[in-house]
Amino acid sequence: MATQDVSLWDETNTNSVSVTTDSKLKTQNTYLGYESLLSSNISIGLSATEVKVGGSRLTGRRNVTIYNNTATNAVIYIGYSNAVTSANGIPLYKNQMISIDIGDVAIWSISTVAATDVRIMEMA
């Protein structure tokens, strides 16, 4: 008797669960309709830094996720201009995350501590 992989797909054909011939369970997700994804860590300091992966925002970006991965108790503040401060920004405390459906709009961040480790994921 021959065996083959078996897959179950959702109604949009974007997400699946499969059982392979070697009895492994696999899942597939196309990022809820996103076609590309970039992620990296960036260092946020005492002056405003644009939140992006690499030298420019992901082309066609529709969403950005920001995670405060600080080893200290640094707070980062998120805003929509390079004038973001602790007085006008949205605070993200240690181990907090925010996901924003934003499009190709600049997001800026500043920290209470120099060289704060922040994880970024952009989706388009």
CA gyration radius, the chain:
19
- CATH for the stretch 34-123: 2.60.120.770
pLDDT digits (tens, 9 = 90+) for 49-98: 999 999 999 999 989 999 999 999 999 999 999 999 999 999 999 999 99
What's the whole-model pTM score? Answer: 0.73
What residue spans in the chain does CATH classification 2.60.120.770 cover? Answer: 34-123
Closest to 32 (Cα-Cα) out of 80, 99, 107, 120: 99
The DSSP result for 36-53, as a single string, is -EEEEEEEE-SS-EE--S
